[in-house]
Amino acid sequence: MAMKQYCITLEPKLVKEVDACVKSEGLHSSRNDFVRDAVREKVLAVRRERMRRDFQKLAEKARARGFTGRFPTREERAQLADELLREKGLL
């Protein structure tokens, strides 16, 4: 995978902590590897939270339409998914 370089600014204390983690844990080969992995984890966490909120909205709509706890039919799921995609401007 092609990578680009970016410059970031960190507090010296944080850089020391990152270096200590790299040295002591042995999970990362370098400071860059550590930071890249941390950014990747944060992006995934943001995606998960966004997805959780989207599913929460979907569940609220389903309850507003009388969802009683039974698993929605394929058609009902498709309709709810289409509405969510329309709201997001993806459909």
Query: How does pLDDT run across 50-79, given as a tens digit for each residue?
Result: 999 998 988 888 888 887 777 878 898 898
Q: What is the pLDDT of residues 12-43, one digit of tens each?
A: 999 999 999 999 988 899 999 999 999 999 99
The rounded distance, in Å, linking the Cα atoms of 77 and 71 is: 9
CA distance 25 to 21: 6
Q: What is the distance between the alpha carbons of residues 72 and 75, in angstroms, rounded to a whole number? A: 8
Position 91 scores a pLDDT of 74
Position with higher pLDDT, 89 vs 36: 36
φ, ψ for residue 17, nearest 5 deg: -65, -40
- Local confidence band at 46 (pLDDT 50, 70, 90 cut-offs): very high
